[in-house]
Amino acid sequence: MKELDLLHRLIYLDRDYVADVYEAVTGTPAMTQITKAEGKKAGTAIPIFSAEISAGETRTFSLSSAAMFKEILPKLTGFSDIPSTGVQVGQRSMVSWVEGDMGVFMVNLRRREPPETHEKIVASEKYFGIHRADGLKLALLATPEYFTSGLGSFIRLYETVLGAHKLHVRALVRAYPASTDFKESIAVPLVIIESDKRD
């Protein structure tokens, strides 16, 4: 995959994951700075576990995330494809590839409370998902900041101006032994690349 073509096809990149893999694969250490910040409740008469003191790690590499990704991509291609059954309860989570159609989906929670005679929508949730031809369905727990080219806005536009849409993608995900009430396996995307559909 040519460099510019890869850049144009890349639609999601977990920069923290890429930095971790780059450091592990190349052995190149990052310049690291640890900072601590106290919340408003720190120092008051509350238990130590609620002191709201947080630590943040800042790492600096000489390469950009895109350059690190390009360097580690050959290593990432070694992961297998996720099985059609997903990850079952009791199994370990797995990092695997999946190829399928990605889009925005929405579920509504309906409830009927007396004396009402019909159900009302009490909550709704919109999310990205990937559906594969063999029946595998993944609900993605995505971080909006990791989408490229404004694709994360699809969620916001879903109920207003967004019409028919479908992106054929190849994604590296961490799939967990958990599923939604709609039988979708839950996964965290690490890398999503737009790909040509295979017949």
pLDDT at 166: 77
Nearest in space to 171 (alpha carbons), one of 124, 134, 144, 131? 131
Positions of the chain with pLDDT lower than 50, given as ranges: 42-53, 199
What Å distances lie between residue 109 and 10, 105, 119, 141, 156, CA to CA? 33, 14, 10, 19, 19
- Judging by DSSP bridges, how do beta strands 137-140 and 185-194 pair with one another? parallel
Distance of CA 32 to the CA centre of its chain: 25
pLDDT at 164: 54
Cβ contact 126:139 at 8 Å: no
pLDDT at 45: 44
Domain boundaries, the chain: 15-76, 94-194
pLDDT at 192: 94
pLDDT at 199: 45
